[in-house]
Structure 1
């Protein structure tokens, strides 16, 4: 059985390379996690520019691979299998990672696994908290995705039970940050500003929470618009914008909806473990409110440390290790990227 698995991630604006060791008991040990981000190159545009991201991946791939192997004190010859994000993501960015992983797999004559980026966000939790109980519920919250997923088998059976119908939570953070003239990406600066604000100062709407709305779907477009309209109104009246209060009230609305729906889904499904992952999982209010509500409902909460929540190669290597342990067949070397890969497809 392969022991050292290399993971390559390039779905958006981070070039990630991770190395893990698969032990005989099925546990996975993190050996290296190196990331090169191009976020600064996108900041002046207020969002990720696909062509810029692809070029950054090309420039960063080999240096990031070298740093990962140096950190793990390993060489390429130690690798037993390679996992790479095949989707979802930006087409050009994905192709850089897939092409690199195919080249390494062919040169080293090791199996290749084209894996799902979203499943990787769930698998990464096992690097910190150990094997994932089944079934588990995952709340995946990032710049491009907001989903509730039932996990019956991380290596092969993931079912979506709810998703956003418009903006993802992370996308709403970026847009609200722009309205408040805060830096991009919007998550960290809004979280920081909110700590000084009153979350009850402004009653922003809780989208998709009406009695006739889908119980486990999300909508943040209306909330984003409500914030923009509130700020525009205050400016029209000549008032100073209370950035901290707006940030805190917006953040409370997001965390309230996310945690309420996740806990309700777990309770109604009889699931005792909730995993929150993705970039927004690093948000302080989301994790605090989730901990409070999970404790009240008797649900175990697992949230990876912030470094593991954002896009990285470790999560892809971890998922690859679980696929290897489960005996899943490798992907063919003519593997192609799929920007719209559904979460139900864990390995291509």
Structure 2
């Protein structure tokens, strides 16, 4: 992604911890290296999948293929940890699944990554653990989705994943992650993290709409107004993250779409996908990155640094505008 490893890569791994203790620290978060690098990363992946379908053939490195196998194994843990019966808030069977995740994840990462990256596993493991929900609250939300993308960013910073993996990172690996998270949500009745009214698009996810709207170009197969029409999303949901998300919402919610998903309904009236995508980028900042209830749970270590961006900051971690290494929230 960059011509040389970043200075962060030279440091030893450490267990990342939360650092945004109160709302007064939000400015420091937005001025941090982590905020800049993460937003550049998200924007870069947004560009990388422009006009592409999930089913398109894209380059995949052996490490990325092994990471998909890792997610497949986490999926198989669901069969080993059956639901115990839904209570008022979620199903306690999820705690068994999460305990197995924590028990097995270090070994799974060692199997997925060459030995040269094993000294980063403690740091990587923390983001992986945080990617699938909270076992105390039995909930899942956009902060957990953010943790998974931080996990991907860490892999890029240590150069386990490279620019050549950028398209497959979204179309194959992230798509597999979303499928796993949806199965967890439905199996264990995970609650939306935070109050339901806080989530602007969907109870659980955001990035399938952001990156998914980049897949759907202005000269693509459907217009925004058709995305919420079952006649269109039913047949195209496996090819486009956005339409897969619309299909999932309609499977788990009842009633008219304009009532249970009013923001997405309003977005369907935007004339062009390029405008939808621009709006999603802005909304991701406003509704996810810049929200203290989400930011307070973000973990910081050596790879994801809370240090301020140097002034002048130059090009930061990523140098090529269209690469995975260049991204902005």
**TM-score normalized by structure 1?**
0.29
Q: As a proportion of its length, which structure holds more strand?
A: 1
Structure number with higher relative contact order (C-alpha < 8 Å, ≥ 6 residues apart)? 2
**Higher alpha-carbon Rg:** 1
More helix by share: 2
